[in-house]
Structure 1
Amino acid sequence: MEQRGCDARRARRQWVGCVVAVLLWSVASAQLRYSISEEVNEGTVVGNIAKDLGLDKITLKDRKYRIVSSSTEPLFHVDQNDGVLYVKQKIDREEVCERISICLINLKTILEDPLEVHYVAVEVLDINDHSPSFPEKEKMLEIFESVLPGARIPLQAARDPDVGHFSVQQYKLSPNDHFRLEVKDKGEDGKIPILIVKKSLDREIAESHSLVLTAVDGGKPPKSGDMSILVNVLDVNDNAPVFSQDIYSVMLDENAPVGTTVLQVNATDLDDGPNGDVVYSFSNSVSHRLLSLFDINPSTGELIVKDSIDYEKKNKYEIEIQASDKGLAPLATQKSIIIKIVDVNDNAPEIEVTSFSSSIPEDSRPGTTVALISVNDLDSGLNGKVICSINDEVPFTLSPSSQDRMFLLVTKSPLDREKKSHYIITVHAKDTGQPPLSSEKTISVVVRDVNDNRPEFSLSPYTFYVTE
């Protein structure tokens, strides 16, 4: 009798514990930001997440504290014993964040039972580990002696994989009497050196001029790279091509088919013969990234789509083209083309179930969190606005989270395993583009049994006949 009483009290305590656990089930989120230099050794401490968030270190391992990452080779890992974030492998900033001024790696960490989500951003700081270099070590230019002071010759820019202050900051030209240097800032495409004639050339006095162009970055001490320039002075082609328009600007839909003509430019040259025949090309200032996306017909001046154009990567391009004649020492004129990319609805919403309970007790109260769902659409504007819903015939609902585009899947009514023990929940996400794109994800939830039914006799009363 005493043993049965102890068992009953123990069962009540376990039941109360389950109820309390359900009531305390919640999703929490926080944001931390650390910074480290690139190329630091494996095992370098990034920060103590548990300490900075005030988490209980003792429970980290039991609650399976971890980083949720879609990367096959994660760059960081967190120690479940103390909550310290470590570098898992050497990080090359130029490889992870090519040409991006601020390199942020966003991590999502979770704890289970109860579910907590914490966001950690790690900024990878650049170090000056590259020297500027030119695509060519030697460059030969041919310039007519009749060229007037002030003539401009764009040169190929030096490349430096580093960013910010550690990228190319200035150019220097070796001392000479006939040329000076001007630098044009092209924003994302860097600084472009332009050779300018400052004094008339005379082939009878000097047939050529040797120059050295030096690119210098902003490191301390600075790193540099050189390119030798040989200027050959030739005789007279005295008219450069002239474009028919002062400004070229055009709109282009993203995902335009390869081979689409963006626009056609036209330039004329007043000279006769080869000196007046015009060919079109890209200026030396055009980056390799643009050369992979666009092509130009040298005869007709048609600018053509060469590869897939993605609005989500870049919504505007400025391309500098040039028209050159066919003289022995060609004269060229540069002109910029502005291409504005028009967004189309080409990305369906992406649904991610970060963490969910595949089974919940049948006595869970309405509002119990079952899963954390994030929805993302790479498009912009109405094309990127997402409406999220689930099927109506289930006792669950979606509740917006404090984080943008995140939802909590919670119970909306009491559950009864004896009536239904398994639910298939379909999460549907649709954007508001025209036409709209949508996606679905299915979640399976099992209802666990609790002791909520008394035993019942099959007959009442029972009648027996016994021989005396």
Structure 2
Amino acid sequence: YNKYFSLGISVADEMFGLLFFVLMAHTAYGDVSYSFLEEMKRGSVIGNIAKDLVLDVNRLSSRKARIDTEGNRKRYCDINLNTGELTVAERIDREEICEKKSSCVINQELVLENPLGLHRVIFNIEDINDNSPQFKQSVIKFEIRESALKGSRYLLDEAHDADISMNAVQSYMLQENEHFLLRVLTRTNGRTYGELVLNKELDREQQKEVTLILTAVDGGTPPRSGTVAIHVTVLDANDNAPLILPSCLIPGCVHIGYNITITATDEGSPPLSSTKNIHLTVADVNDNPPVFQEQSYRAHVQENNKPGSSICSVSATDPDWRQNGTVV
């Protein structure tokens, strides 16, 4: 009420006490309080202040009734001098005025003249679900080694909602997948957050990257939601030893009966190795002609032998293997 006190002070200091008493007497008629939702359309009726304060509607105009702001704040309502109704003067955004406060109160005054009267008008602005949950980042990134154990947990970024109470974030949902589960927790201040839980061990050799969608949902009616992508890069672990694949046969003339041991070692930490025993098998080539046991043969044939009679027997051998050494 400072601007009204200044009138009394400018006349005489001793009048201050009298003026203060008069103001208090007028304000003693009572304050009035209204509760209504934010974002009401301009011109919407809040209440009838003339009825609520038992004022003569017919004298509102002559007494120059008006709504005055405290502390040079915006005037959020007007008074209809013909009906005594309070109406919304401009858009009221609760989040802009009070942010995340649990109670959002606007104090304004009804000013009357002839005689001077002041009535405090209190507006309680109630929240509506006009904001969706949002994440600070468009993508949440993790680098997880494939050796991570089942049950490993990774803290997720919390979603934020400008609304309060049930209109704020109430739960999270994770896209169904093979490797991860979602654990939803509540802080001491009532805000919820999530943890990514490894449900099945990763294998980089099968899948190098995993992409999921995390959804935050508020408790409004109807509920609103916001999403963020989770990108998991699977880091390699030294979980595979070198693999030896002997698959060749060596043609040629070499000694038979060798056993060869091959060891392959990687440079991981710790290093892994594999050992393979190889029995050397030589594949034959047809590089030897058949050889008769004698350089020449002599045979004596008697006259008058029947056709088909055996004259003599010869023999040849071939040192090659299988069909290459078969003499016909």
For Structure 1 versus Structure 2, the TM-score category normalised by the shorter chain is 0.5 to 0.7
Match among 208, 220, 225 for residue 433 of structure 1: 220
Tell me whether 1:416 sits opposite 2:203 in the alignment: yes
Correspondences of 1:51-62 after superposition (within 5 Å): none
CA–CA separation in structure 2 for the residues paired with 1:346 and 1:254: 9
Normalising by structure 2, report the TM-score: 0.58
Q: Using the alignment, how far apart are the partners of 1:289 and 1:258 within structure 2?
A: 18
How do 1:106-145 and structure 2 match up within 5 A?
A: none
Aligned-pair CA distance for 1:352: 3.9
Structure 1 residues 129-168: aligned runs within 5 Å: 154-156=1-3
CA–CA separation in structure 2 for the residues paired with 1:402 and 1:277: 58
| Amino acid of the structure 1 residue aligned with 2:91 | S
Question: d(CA) in 2 for partners of 1:395 and 1:258?
Answer: 52
1:321 shift after superposition: 0.3
For residues 280-327 of structure 1, give each alpha carbon's deviation from its aligned partner in whole angstroms, at most 9, with x where no partner exists: 2124x6332242x23334555432223332344152334320233xxx
CA 1:417–1:352: 2 relative to 1, 3 Å:
same
1:398 aligned residue: 182
Instruction: Give the alignment partner of residue 277 of structure 1, picking from 62, 78, 95.
Output: 62
**Alignment-derived partner of residue 148 in structure 2:** 364
Q: Quick check: which has more Rg, 1 or 2?
A: 2
Post-superposition Cα deviations, 1:10-49, rounded to whole Å, max 9, x if no partner, equal xxxxxxxxxxxxxxxxxxxxxxxxxxxxxxxxxxxxxxxx
1:442 aligned onto 2:229: yes
Tell whether 2:106 aligns with 1:317: yes
Question: Is residue 2:173 matched to residue 1:389?
Answer: yes
For 1:462, the equivalent position in structure 2 comes to 248
Whichever structure has more strand as a proportion of its residues is: 1
Structure 2: stretches of 5+ with no match in the other structure: 253-284, 288-328
Q: 1:298 to 1:197 in 2, by over 3 A?
A: same
1:44-68 Cα distance to aligned partner (Å, 9 max, x none): xxxxxxxxxxxxxxxxxxxxxxxxx
Partners of 1:269 and 1:462 lie apart in 2 by 109
Contact 1:355 1:371 in 2 (8 A): no
The CA deviation at 1:174 is 7.1
Q: Unmatched 5+ residue regions in structure 1? A: 1-153, 159-171, 183-193, 199-240, 325-329
User: Are the equivalent residues in 1 in contact too, given 2:57–2:81 (CA < 8 A)?
Assistant: no
Answering whether residue 162 of structure 2 is matched by residue 378 of structure 1, we say yes
Contact 1:387 1:430 in 2 (8 A): yes
Provide the aligned length of Structure 1 versus Structure 2.
Answer: 236
Q: Deviations over 1:210-233 (max 9, x none)?
A: xxxxxxxxxxxxxxxxxxxxxxxx
2:56 is the alignment partner of 1:268:
yes
C-alpha distance in structure 2 between counterparts of 1:408 and 1:179, whole Å: 68
Q: CA RMSD in A?
A: 3.9
Alpha-carbon spacing, 1:315–1:357, altered in 2? closer, same or farther (3 Å)? closer
Query: Does the Cα contact within 8 Å between 2:139 and 2:229 map onto a contact in 1?
Result: no
Q: Is 1:269–1:277's contact at 8 Å kept on the other side of the alignment?
A: no
The Cα of 1:414 is off from its aligned counterpart by: 0.5
1:452 aligns with 2:201: no
Q: Are 1:424 and 1:442, in contact at CA under 8 Å, matched by a contact in 2?
A: yes
> Does residue 304 of the first structure (1) align with residue 93 of the second (2)?
no
1:179 maps to which of 2, 12, 15:
15
Post-superposition CA distance 1:79-105 (Å, at most 9, x none): xxxxxxxxxxxxxxxxxxxxxxxxxxx
TM-score, with normalisation over the residues of structure 1?
Answer: 0.43
Shift of 1:435: 0.7
Decide whether the 8 Å contact of 1:377 with 1:386 is kept in 2.
no
Whether the aligned pair in 2 keeps the contact of 1:357 and 1:371 (CA below 8 Å) is no
Residues 451 and 252 of structure 1: is their aligned pair in 2 closer, same or farther, counting only changes over 3 Å? same
CA contact (8 A) 1:280 1:299 kept: no
- The match for 2:70 among 279, 286, 289 is 286
Q: Which amino acid aligns with 2:226?
A: S
Contact 1:270 1:276 in 2 (8 A): yes
